[in-house]
Amino acid sequence: GNSVTQMEGPVTLSEEAFLTINCTYTATGYPSLFWYVQYPGEGLQLLLKATKADDKGSNKGFEATYRKETTSFHLEKGSVQVSDSAVYFCALTSTQGGSEKLVFGKGTKLTVNP
């Protein structure tokens, strides 16, 4: 089935630093790709998504581009804030045995210091 590999954390940055969290995938067909974010003590929230190659998802200053040639969907932000501290999950859709589901990466914990 489809799978996702994202960079292991934790990642610690200073405020206003540039952020990249790498995500690569293995998939058959054309999955949709997602970034979800989990703030402390909360459930996951969709951050952005892309449904086809070369699509760019963006939200709250975060961006990710669906790169089919490199099977990647790296998350970037030009200037992080303390409030961006959270765990970030890359995910993709997967169909296996007639069942559809979201497959998540292990998550990358980001801490932004003032």
Partner 1 sequence: KAGVTQTPRYLIKTRGQQVTLSCSPISGHRSVSWYQQTPGQGLQFLFEYFSETQRNKGNFPGRFSGRQFSNSRSEMNVSTLELGDSALYLCASSLEQGPQETQYFGPGTRLLVL
Query: How many CB atoms sit inside 10 A of residue 104's CB?
Result: 16
Q: Which of 10, 29, 43, 114 binds partner 1 (CB under 8 A)?
A: 43
Tell whether residue 57 is a contact of partner 1 (CB under 8 A): no
- Of the ranges 16-24, 41-49, 55-63, 74-82, which one interacts with partner 1 (CB under 8 A)? 41-49
Q: Which of 94, 108, 110, 112 binds partner 1 (CB under 8 A)?
A: 94
- Least distance from C-beta 12 to partner 1, angstroms? 19
Query: How many Cα atoms sit within 13 Å of 39 on the Cβ side?
Result: 7
Q: Which of 29, 69, 70, 100 binds partner 1 (CB under 8 A)?
A: 100
In angstroms, the Cα distances linking 8 to 11, 78, 92, 94, 108 are: 8, 20, 18, 22, 6
CA dihedral in degrees (76, 24, 66, 12; nearest 10)? -10
Where along the sequence are the contacts to partner 1 (CB under 8 A)?
32, 36, 41-46, 49, 51, 89, 93-94, 99-107
